[in-house]
Amino acid sequence: MIARFTDCLRLFSGVFILSLVLAGCSEPPREFNETVFTMGTLVEVTIIGEEEALTDRAYAAILDDFSYMHNTWHPWQRNALARINSLLKTGAPFSLAPSILPLIERSKQLSGQSNGLFNPAIGGLVKLWGFHQDDLEEIFGPPEPAAIGAFLQDMPQMSDIDFKNLTMHGRNPNIHLDFGGFAKGMAVDNTIAHLREFGINNAIINAGGDLRAIGQNGSRPWRIGIRDPRGEDVFASIEISGDESVFTSGDYERYFTVDNKRYHHIIDPRTGYPADQTRSVTVLHSDAATADAAATALFIAGPQQWHSIARTMGIKFVMLIDKAGKVHMNPAMAKRIEFNNRRPDISLSKPL
Ligand code: AMP
Ligand code: MG
Protein backbone atom coordinates (compact mmCIF):
# COMPACT_ATOMS: atom_id res chain seq x y z
CA MET A 1 0.00 0.00 0.00
CA ILE A 2 2.68 2.50 0.94
CA ALA A 3 4.32 2.08 -2.45
CA ARG A 4 1.12 2.74 -4.39
CA PHE A 5 2.00 6.12 -5.78
CA THR A 6 0.36 5.26 -9.10
CA ASP A 7 -2.95 4.76 -7.35
CA CYS A 8 -3.21 8.38 -6.46
CA LEU A 9 -5.85 9.21 -8.99
CA ARG A 10 -8.16 6.44 -7.88
CA LEU A 11 -9.60 8.34 -4.98
CA PHE A 12 -12.00 5.93 -3.40
CA SER A 13 -10.96 2.57 -4.70
CA GLY A 14 -12.98 0.42 -2.34
CA VAL A 15 -15.69 2.50 -0.76
CA PHE A 16 -17.46 5.80 -1.11
CA ILE A 17 -18.85 7.94 1.68
CA LEU A 18 -22.41 8.57 0.58
CA SER A 19 -23.74 11.94 1.61
CA LEU A 20 -27.15 12.03 3.19
CA VAL A 21 -29.86 14.61 3.39
CA LEU A 22 -30.13 15.46 7.05
CA ALA A 23 -33.88 15.24 7.40
CA GLY A 24 -35.39 17.05 10.35
CA CYS A 25 -32.27 19.14 11.11
CA SER A 26 -32.80 22.86 10.88
CA GLU A 27 -29.10 23.67 10.63
CA PRO A 28 -26.65 20.91 9.73
CA PRO A 29 -23.56 20.76 11.97
CA ARG A 30 -20.34 22.24 10.57
CA GLU A 31 -18.45 19.78 8.32
CA PHE A 32 -14.67 19.93 7.86
CA ASN A 33 -13.51 18.06 4.77
CA GLU A 34 -9.97 17.98 3.35
CA THR A 35 -8.11 15.55 1.10
CA VAL A 36 -4.36 15.05 1.00
CA PHE A 37 -2.07 12.73 -0.96
CA THR A 38 0.08 10.87 1.56
CA MET A 39 1.43 7.34 2.12
CA GLY A 40 0.86 6.66 -1.57
CA THR A 41 -2.84 7.27 -1.44
CA LEU A 42 -5.43 10.03 -1.16
CA VAL A 43 -6.58 10.46 2.41
CA GLU A 44 -9.87 12.23 3.07
CA VAL A 45 -10.48 13.63 6.54
CA THR A 46 -14.06 14.49 7.52
CA ILE A 47 -14.89 15.98 10.92
CA ILE A 48 -18.43 16.88 11.96
CA GLY A 49 -19.63 19.54 14.37
CA GLU A 50 -16.39 21.15 15.56
CA GLU A 51 -15.04 24.73 15.48
CA GLU A 52 -12.73 25.78 12.67
CA ALA A 53 -9.76 26.49 14.96
CA LEU A 54 -9.92 22.97 16.41
CA THR A 55 -10.33 21.16 13.08
CA ASP A 56 -7.44 23.13 11.58
CA ARG A 57 -5.14 22.16 14.45
CA ALA A 58 -6.26 18.54 14.35
CA TYR A 59 -5.79 18.34 10.59
CA ALA A 60 -2.26 19.78 10.81
CA ALA A 61 -1.40 17.17 13.46
CA ILE A 62 -2.77 14.38 11.26
CA LEU A 63 -0.71 15.57 8.29
CA ASP A 64 2.41 15.34 10.49
CA ASP A 65 1.40 11.84 11.61
CA PHE A 66 0.96 10.64 8.04
CA SER A 67 4.22 12.09 6.83
CA TYR A 68 6.10 10.50 9.78
CA MET A 69 4.50 7.09 9.12
CA HIS A 70 5.16 7.35 5.40
CA ASN A 71 8.85 8.12 5.94
CA THR A 72 9.37 5.47 8.61
CA TRP A 73 7.28 2.58 7.28
CA HIS A 74 7.87 2.70 3.52
CA PRO A 75 9.14 -0.80 2.60
CA TRP A 76 11.43 0.25 -0.25
CA GLN A 77 13.07 3.48 0.91
CA ARG A 78 16.09 4.26 3.06
CA ASN A 79 14.52 4.49 6.50
CA ALA A 80 14.20 2.73 9.85
CA LEU A 81 12.44 -0.22 8.20
CA ALA A 82 15.18 -0.62 5.57
CA ARG A 83 17.77 -0.88 8.36
CA ILE A 84 15.71 -3.56 10.10
CA ASN A 85 15.21 -5.44 6.84
CA SER A 86 18.93 -5.56 6.12
CA LEU A 87 19.77 -6.66 9.69
CA LEU A 88 17.05 -9.32 9.84
CA LYS A 89 18.65 -11.11 6.87
CA THR A 90 21.98 -11.45 8.69
CA GLY A 91 20.59 -13.50 11.60
CA ALA A 92 22.64 -11.44 14.09
CA PRO A 93 20.90 -9.73 17.05
CA PHE A 94 20.37 -5.98 16.75
CA SER A 95 18.51 -3.24 18.56
CA LEU A 96 15.10 -2.50 17.21
CA ALA A 97 13.73 0.93 16.25
CA PRO A 98 10.78 1.72 18.56
CA SER A 99 8.95 3.30 15.57
CA ILE A 100 8.70 -0.15 13.94
CA LEU A 101 8.03 -2.30 17.02
CA PRO A 102 4.21 -1.82 17.04
CA LEU A 103 4.03 -2.91 13.39
CA ILE A 104 6.07 -6.04 14.06
CA GLU A 105 4.15 -6.99 17.22
CA ARG A 106 0.71 -6.52 15.66
CA SER A 107 1.58 -8.18 12.38
CA LYS A 108 3.14 -11.21 14.09
CA GLN A 109 -0.11 -11.71 15.97
CA LEU A 110 -2.36 -11.12 12.91
CA SER A 111 -0.20 -13.34 10.72
CA GLY A 112 -0.48 -16.19 13.24
CA GLN A 113 -4.27 -15.75 13.48
CA SER A 114 -4.55 -15.83 9.68
CA ASN A 115 -2.64 -19.11 9.52
CA GLY A 116 0.17 -17.32 7.67
CA LEU A 117 -2.04 -16.09 4.79
CA PHE A 118 -1.39 -12.52 5.89
CA ASN A 119 2.39 -12.61 5.80
CA PRO A 120 4.25 -9.27 5.74
CA ALA A 121 7.60 -11.13 5.72
CA ILE A 122 7.16 -11.90 1.99
CA GLY A 123 8.37 -8.53 0.69
CA GLY A 124 10.95 -10.45 -1.37
CA LEU A 125 8.15 -12.24 -3.21
CA VAL A 126 6.25 -8.98 -3.74
CA LYS A 127 9.46 -7.57 -5.26
CA LEU A 128 9.98 -10.65 -7.45
CA TRP A 129 6.55 -9.94 -8.96
CA GLY A 130 7.47 -6.26 -9.40
CA PHE A 131 4.70 -4.91 -7.16
CA HIS A 132 7.20 -2.90 -5.12
CA GLN A 133 7.45 -0.49 -8.08
CA ASP A 134 5.28 2.55 -8.46
CA ASP A 135 4.85 2.06 -12.17
CA LEU A 136 3.49 -1.37 -13.10
CA GLU A 137 3.81 -0.59 -16.82
CA GLU A 138 7.45 -1.63 -16.52
CA ILE A 139 6.45 -5.24 -15.75
CA PHE A 140 6.37 -7.45 -18.83
CA GLY A 141 5.28 -10.74 -17.31
CA PRO A 142 5.22 -12.96 -14.25
CA PRO A 143 8.53 -14.12 -12.72
CA GLU A 144 10.18 -17.36 -13.80
CA PRO A 145 8.47 -20.31 -12.08
CA ALA A 146 11.92 -21.46 -10.90
CA ALA A 147 12.45 -18.18 -9.04
CA ILE A 148 9.07 -18.53 -7.30
CA GLY A 149 9.86 -22.18 -6.53
CA ALA A 150 13.20 -21.21 -4.98
CA PHE A 151 11.47 -18.64 -2.77
CA LEU A 152 8.85 -21.19 -1.67
CA GLN A 153 11.63 -23.59 -0.60
CA ASP A 154 12.58 -21.20 2.17
CA MET A 155 9.40 -19.18 2.68
CA PRO A 156 9.89 -16.57 5.43
CA GLN A 157 7.25 -16.27 8.16
CA MET A 158 6.66 -13.65 10.81
CA SER A 159 7.45 -16.39 13.34
CA ASP A 160 11.03 -16.34 11.95
CA ILE A 161 11.45 -13.01 13.74
CA ASP A 162 12.30 -13.18 17.44
CA PHE A 163 12.55 -10.26 19.79
CA LYS A 164 12.99 -9.66 23.46
CA ASN A 165 12.69 -6.17 24.85
CA LEU A 166 14.33 -4.08 22.13
CA THR A 167 16.67 -6.75 20.75
CA MET A 168 15.63 -8.64 17.66
CA HIS A 169 16.99 -11.21 15.25
CA GLY A 170 15.79 -12.99 12.13
CA ARG A 171 15.97 -16.70 11.38
CA ASN A 172 15.47 -16.65 7.62
CA PRO A 173 17.63 -14.76 5.09
CA ASN A 174 14.58 -14.31 2.80
CA ILE A 175 12.72 -12.06 5.27
CA HIS A 176 11.86 -8.65 3.86
CA LEU A 177 9.14 -6.85 5.78
CA ASP A 178 6.53 -5.16 3.59
CA PHE A 179 3.65 -3.88 5.71
CA GLY A 180 1.62 -2.86 2.65
CA GLY A 181 -1.16 -5.28 3.62
CA PHE A 182 -1.97 -3.47 6.89
CA ALA A 183 0.06 -0.26 7.31
CA LYS A 184 -2.87 1.79 6.05
CA GLY A 185 -5.01 0.31 8.83
CA MET A 186 -2.33 1.03 11.44
CA ALA A 187 -2.06 4.60 10.15
CA VAL A 188 -5.82 5.13 10.26
CA ASP A 189 -5.99 3.78 13.84
CA ASN A 190 -3.17 6.11 14.92
CA THR A 191 -4.80 9.17 13.40
CA ILE A 192 -8.25 8.35 14.86
CA ALA A 193 -6.58 8.05 18.30
CA HIS A 194 -4.98 11.44 17.70
CA LEU A 195 -8.33 13.01 16.71
CA ARG A 196 -9.84 11.68 19.94
CA GLU A 197 -7.04 13.35 21.91
CA PHE A 198 -8.30 16.61 20.41
CA GLY A 199 -11.76 15.78 21.77
CA ILE A 200 -13.15 14.99 18.32
CA ASN A 201 -15.75 12.21 18.37
CA ASN A 202 -17.50 12.40 14.98
CA ALA A 203 -15.12 11.85 12.07
CA ILE A 204 -13.98 9.62 9.21
CA ILE A 205 -10.45 8.95 8.02
CA ASN A 206 -10.79 7.52 4.52
CA ALA A 207 -7.46 6.32 3.12
CA GLY A 208 -7.98 5.57 -0.57
CA GLY A 209 -11.29 3.84 0.05
CA ASP A 210 -10.43 2.12 3.32
CA LEU A 211 -11.76 3.90 6.36
CA ARG A 212 -12.55 4.11 10.04
CA ALA A 213 -15.54 6.13 11.17
CA ILE A 214 -16.30 7.29 14.70
CA GLY A 215 -19.53 8.77 16.00
CA GLN A 216 -22.19 9.89 13.57
CA ASN A 217 -22.73 12.10 10.54
CA GLY A 218 -24.85 14.70 12.34
CA SER A 219 -28.03 13.00 13.49
CA ARG A 220 -27.56 10.04 11.12
CA PRO A 221 -25.21 7.06 10.85
CA TRP A 222 -22.43 7.21 8.28
CA ARG A 223 -23.45 5.60 5.01
CA ILE A 224 -20.63 3.87 3.12
CA GLY A 225 -20.75 2.63 -0.46
CA ILE A 226 -18.74 -0.46 -1.46
CA ARG A 227 -17.32 -0.45 -4.95
CA ASP A 228 -18.18 -2.95 -7.68
CA PRO A 229 -14.88 -4.82 -8.32
CA ARG A 230 -15.71 -4.92 -12.04
CA GLY A 231 -16.88 -1.33 -12.47
CA GLU A 232 -16.65 2.15 -11.01
CA ASP A 233 -20.14 2.10 -9.49
CA VAL A 234 -21.37 1.56 -5.96
CA PHE A 235 -22.21 -2.14 -5.66
CA ALA A 236 -23.67 -2.13 -2.17
CA SER A 237 -23.91 0.16 0.82
CA ILE A 238 -23.83 -0.13 4.56
CA GLU A 239 -24.54 2.09 7.55
CA ILE A 240 -22.04 2.40 10.36
CA SER A 241 -22.01 4.41 13.55
CA GLY A 242 -20.13 4.32 16.82
CA ASP A 243 -16.68 3.14 15.87
CA GLU A 244 -16.13 0.84 12.94
CA SER A 245 -13.65 0.29 10.11
CA VAL A 246 -14.47 -0.81 6.56
CA PHE A 247 -11.56 -2.25 4.58
CA THR A 248 -11.61 -3.79 1.11
CA SER A 249 -8.91 -5.77 -0.70
CA GLY A 250 -9.46 -6.10 -4.44
CA ASP A 251 -7.79 -7.57 -7.51
CA TYR A 252 -8.53 -4.30 -9.36
CA GLU A 253 -6.31 -2.12 -7.16
CA ARG A 254 -2.87 -2.95 -8.55
CA TYR A 255 -2.35 -5.35 -11.41
CA PHE A 256 -0.82 -5.93 -14.81
CA THR A 257 -2.26 -7.97 -17.66
CA VAL A 258 -0.35 -10.40 -19.90
CA ASP A 259 -2.13 -12.48 -22.58
CA ASN A 260 -5.48 -11.40 -21.18
CA LYS A 261 -4.59 -12.74 -17.74
CA ARG A 262 -4.69 -10.43 -14.76
CA TYR A 263 -1.79 -10.65 -12.27
CA HIS A 264 -2.58 -8.62 -9.16
CA HIS A 265 -0.72 -7.65 -5.99
CA ILE A 266 -2.19 -9.97 -3.33
CA ILE A 267 0.11 -12.97 -3.24
CA ASP A 268 -0.84 -16.36 -1.82
CA PRO A 269 2.19 -17.38 0.30
CA ARG A 270 1.30 -21.06 -0.26
CA THR A 271 1.75 -20.88 -4.03
CA GLY A 272 3.86 -17.75 -4.60
CA TYR A 273 1.23 -16.57 -7.16
CA PRO A 274 -1.56 -13.97 -6.91
CA ALA A 275 -4.57 -15.51 -5.15
CA ASP A 276 -6.96 -16.42 -7.95
CA GLN A 277 -10.37 -17.25 -6.45
CA THR A 278 -11.50 -13.78 -5.37
CA ARG A 279 -12.33 -10.37 -6.84
CA SER A 280 -12.75 -8.46 -3.59
CA VAL A 281 -13.28 -8.84 0.14
CA THR A 282 -14.81 -6.25 2.45
CA VAL A 283 -14.33 -6.61 6.19
CA LEU A 284 -15.88 -4.60 9.02
CA HIS A 285 -14.11 -4.51 12.35
CA SER A 286 -13.67 -2.07 15.20
CA ASP A 287 -9.96 -1.44 14.59
CA ALA A 288 -8.63 -0.63 11.17
CA ALA A 289 -5.35 -2.59 11.42
CA THR A 290 -7.22 -5.85 12.02
CA ALA A 291 -9.76 -5.07 9.28
CA ASP A 292 -6.94 -4.32 6.82
CA ALA A 293 -4.93 -7.47 7.58
CA ALA A 294 -8.11 -9.58 7.54
CA ALA A 295 -9.26 -8.23 4.16
CA THR A 296 -5.90 -9.27 2.68
CA ALA A 297 -5.95 -12.70 4.40
CA LEU A 298 -9.58 -13.50 3.50
CA PHE A 299 -8.97 -12.48 -0.10
CA ILE A 300 -6.28 -15.18 -0.24
CA ALA A 301 -8.40 -17.68 1.73
CA GLY A 302 -11.07 -17.39 -1.00
CA PRO A 303 -14.64 -18.73 -1.08
CA GLN A 304 -13.72 -22.09 0.49
CA GLN A 305 -11.65 -20.98 3.46
CA TRP A 306 -12.67 -17.40 4.33
CA HIS A 307 -15.09 -18.52 7.04
CA SER A 308 -12.56 -20.49 9.08
CA ILE A 309 -9.88 -17.79 8.78
CA ALA A 310 -12.40 -15.05 9.74
CA ARG A 311 -13.14 -17.07 12.87
CA THR A 312 -9.51 -17.41 13.90
CA MET A 313 -9.01 -13.67 13.25
CA GLY A 314 -12.09 -12.72 15.30
CA ILE A 315 -13.89 -11.07 12.35
CA LYS A 316 -17.70 -10.80 12.54
CA PHE A 317 -18.65 -9.15 9.21
CA VAL A 318 -17.38 -10.29 5.80
CA MET A 319 -18.50 -9.92 2.18
CA LEU A 320 -16.39 -11.80 -0.39
CA ILE A 321 -17.04 -11.53 -4.13
CA ASP A 322 -15.57 -14.59 -5.83
CA LYS A 323 -14.03 -14.87 -9.29
CA ALA A 324 -17.44 -15.64 -10.84
CA GLY A 325 -19.09 -12.61 -9.19
CA LYS A 326 -20.95 -14.65 -6.55
CA VAL A 327 -21.28 -12.90 -3.18
CA HIS A 328 -20.35 -14.85 -0.02
CA MET A 329 -21.45 -13.37 3.31
CA ASN A 330 -22.10 -14.34 6.88
CA PRO A 331 -25.72 -13.74 8.05
CA ALA A 332 -24.81 -10.74 10.26
CA MET A 333 -23.19 -9.00 7.25
CA ALA A 334 -26.13 -9.90 5.00
CA LYS A 335 -28.48 -8.13 7.46
CA ARG A 336 -26.51 -4.89 7.09
CA ILE A 337 -25.68 -4.85 3.38
CA GLU A 338 -27.98 -3.13 0.88
CA PHE A 339 -27.40 -3.90 -2.80
CA ASN A 340 -27.73 -0.98 -5.12
CA ASN A 341 -29.13 -2.39 -8.31
CA ARG A 342 -30.08 -5.98 -8.84
CA ARG A 343 -29.53 -8.54 -6.12
CA PRO A 344 -26.48 -10.67 -6.96
CA ASP A 345 -26.15 -14.42 -6.61
CA ILE A 346 -25.57 -14.86 -2.86
CA SER A 347 -24.13 -17.70 -0.80
CA LEU A 348 -24.93 -17.30 2.88
CA SER A 349 -22.51 -18.98 5.30
CA LYS A 350 -23.02 -20.24 8.83
CA PRO A 351 -22.80 -17.47 11.48
CA LEU A 352 -19.28 -16.39 12.38
P1 AMP B 1 -4.15 -4.93 0.60
O2 AMP B 1 -4.55 -4.01 -0.50
O3 AMP B 1 -4.39 -4.38 1.97
O4 AMP B 1 -4.77 -6.29 0.45
O5 AMP B 1 -2.57 -5.10 0.57
C6 AMP B 1 -1.89 -5.55 -0.57
C7 AMP B 1 -0.42 -5.31 -0.39
O8 AMP B 1 0.05 -6.13 0.68
C9 AMP B 1 0.43 -5.68 -1.59
O10 AMP B 1 0.60 -4.58 -2.45
C11 AMP B 1 1.74 -6.12 -0.95
O12 AMP B 1 2.54 -4.99 -0.64
C13 AMP B 1 1.29 -6.74 0.35
N14 AMP B 1 0.99 -8.18 0.27
C15 AMP B 1 0.81 -8.97 -0.83
N16 AMP B 1 0.55 -10.23 -0.48
C17 AMP B 1 0.55 -10.26 0.89
C18 AMP B 1 0.34 -11.28 1.87
N19 AMP B 1 0.06 -12.55 1.54
N20 AMP B 1 0.43 -10.93 3.17
C21 AMP B 1 0.71 -9.66 3.55
N22 AMP B 1 0.92 -8.66 2.68
C23 AMP B 1 0.82 -8.95 1.37
MG1 MG C 1 -5.09 -5.21 3.73
* Ligand having the closest approach to the CA of 7: 1
Give yes or no for residue 292 CB within 6 A of ligand 1.
Answer: yes
The pLDDT assigned to 177 comes to 96
* pLDDT tens profile 40-50: 899 999 999 99
- According to DSSP H, which parts of 74-217 are helical? 80-90, 101-113, 123-129, 145-153, 183-197
Give the phi and the psi of residue 186 in degrees, each rounded to 5.
Answer: -60, -45
**How many angstroms separate the alpha carbon of residue 265 from the centre of ligand 1?**
7
Helix H or strand E segment including 229? none
Which are the contacts of 262, defined by CB distance < 8 A and separation ≥ 6?
251, 255, 256, 274
**How many angstroms separate the alpha carbon of residue 87 from the centre of ligand 2?**
26
Residues (pLDDT < 50) of the chain are 1-12, 20-25
Q: Whose CA is nearest to atom 5 of ligand 1?
A: 181
The pLDDT assigned to 112 comes to 98
The pLDDT assigned to 26 comes to 60
* pLDDT tens profile 147-168: 999 999 999 999 999 988 889 9
Domain boundaries, given as residue ranges, for the chain = 1-352
Which are the contacts of 319, defined by CB distance < 8 A and separation ≥ 6?
226, 236, 281, 282, 327, 328, 329, 333, 337
Provide the residues around ligand 2 (an ion) whose CB is within 5 A: 181, 292, 295-296
1-352: CATH topology: T-fold (3.10.520)
The pLDDT assigned to 76 comes to 85
